[in-house]
Amino acid sequence: MSASNDWIARADRRIMKTYGRYPLVAVRGEGCRLWDADGKGYLDFLAGVAVNNLGHCHPKVVAALQQQATQLLHCSNYYHIPSQIELAEILCEHSFGERVFFCNSGAEANEAAIKLARKFSREKHGEERYEVITAVASFHGRTIATISATGQEKVKAGFSPMLPGFKYVPFGDIEALRAALTPSSCAVMLEPIQGEGGVNVPPPGYLRAVRELCDQNGLVLIYDEVQVGCGRTGKLFAHQHEGVEPDLMTLAKALAGGPPIGALVAREEHAATLGPGTHGSTFGGNPLVTAAGVAAMKVLLEDGVLENCVTMGEYLRGRLEEMKSRYGFAREVRGQGLILGMELSIEGGEIVKTALERGLLINCTVGSVLRFVPPLTVTRAEIDEALEILDGILAEIEN
């Protein structure tokens, strides 16, 4: 029995089956590559679902973790934590933000945003303001509040009753949002580009129109940048392409270059709502992950990673467009920077499986959108290699 098969058999007995896992046992990663327990290498164009933006085990992130691990692993948020303060400073220096709350995941960051928005609106506008409007096909996490916020039925099945106070509108449709407003409306929460929902990019001007609508109606504007933040689209934060600022922004995935982290970034006015005792997290912003976060953000900002994301994003997009023109079942290529999706008129699941067998990791969202989220450090040669594998697979499918 191979080492991988042995692990898979053990997983089969003891790990809860909450994921449809592929038969890959990951043991080592470097840059754009991942190796399994039998030594087989893969080109990783999933990057831990947009977590490993700097590639696997970036040496500066690893060094920061090693250094911090010898100093202090954990201490309570009753005390001040230098690396947490530094990371907050970096985030605020490079965004609209003035204060940061740290937690451990994207769902937690969105929970914090929802709590803040409700308390803020209630205090500012009155008791009846609690409803958060989100988008159809959005994804905001897997806790009860965040599945309630998510505009997809499949994440809610079996878990009712949902948390009340959420409403969904078609993404990119400003009139639908306007029509959804009621005296209960408190906040609008959107991904600037929908990731899990199929790499959906809103029409130009939409985010600006949403901002204006929020301003006119005293609504808190929340951007969920858990997936598209931290350089993924070629700017540090995706909303910066349109130059429209939210009131709250949530981050997680790539923020610490791999280790688990979440953050809620807010303007002062809103941040002031969450005073002592109103919210918290034992591990949130702990020394280890925030030391990694500081290192990861510095690499992102100082080592040309954003520039590489823009150039390689254009290159990958061009190659995908070219491929689309050759395959009748390929409908559309969309996205920004290095979050790209190729929508097919067929199911994408088998393509993902075959790609894995041939050494390429990608995934498929909403059944038919192949998603490419490689490390932002990806090279042209790695893109060529990945696309050769993909082209080979698509060529075997009936056109």
The residues binding ligand PLP (CB under 6 A) are: 105-107, 110, 139-141, 191, 195-196, 224, 226-227, 252-253
224 is catalytic: yes
Q: Is 225 labeled as ligand-binding?
A: yes
Taking the complex as a whole, how short is the minimal distance between the CB of residue 66 and ligand PLP, in angstroms? Answer: 24
For this structure, is 237 an active site residue?
Answer: no
Pairing of strands 262-266, 33-36: unpaired
Longest dimension (CA), the chain: 65
396 annotated ligand-binding residue: no
Residue 36 known to bind ligand: no
Nearer to ligand PLP, 105 or 273 (CB): 105
Closest CB to ligand PLP: residue number = 106
Distances (CA, A) of 51 to 54, 82, 205, 206, 261: 8, 24, 28, 27, 10
Report CA-CA distances (Å) from 250 to 104, 213, 355, 384. 11, 20, 32, 33
Residue 281 is assigned to a ligand binding site: yes
- Which residue spans within 225-359 are E strands per DSSP? 248-251, 262-266, 330-336, 339-344
Q: How far is CA 255 from CA 242, 295, 344, 355, in A?
A: 21, 10, 31, 28
Residue 290: HSE in the Cβ half-sphere, 13 Å Cα cutoff: 27
> What is the nearest approach in angstroms of ligand PLP to the Cβ of residue 105?
3
Tally of CA atoms within 13 A in the half-sphere of 202 that contains its CB: 26
Respond yes or no: is residue 36 known to be catalytic.
no
Q: In whole angstroms, how close is the CB of 107 to ligand PLP at the nearest point?
A: 3
Tell which residue, 257, 232, 302, 231, has the closest CA to residue 63.
257
Q: Which is nearer to ligand PLP, 44 or 382 (CB)?
A: 44
Plot region of 94 (φ>0 → left; ψ -120 to 50 → alpha; else → beta): alpha
Report, in Å, the least distance between residue 143 CB and ligand PLP: 8
Closest separation in Å from C-beta 276 to ligand PLP: 26
By beta-carbon proximity to ligand PLP, the closer residue of 162 and 397 is 162
**Residue 138 marked ligand-binding:** no
**Rg of the chain, C-alpha, whole Å:** 21
Q: How far apart are CA 76 and CA 285, in angstroms?
A: 10
Catalytic-role residue among 139, 166, 171, 372: 139
Q: Of these residues, 102, 224, 235, 324, which one is catalytic?
A: 224
Cβ burial of 329 (10 Å; 0-12, 13-18, 19+) is middle
Q: Least separation, in Å, of the C-beta of 111 and ligand PLP?
A: 9
Q: Is 224 annotated as a binding residue?
A: yes
Residues annotated within the binding site for pyridoxal 5'-phosphate are: 106-107, 139, 224-227, 282
Supply the residues annotated as catalytic.
139, 224, 253
Residues annotated within the binding site are: 106-107, 139, 142, 224-227, 281-282
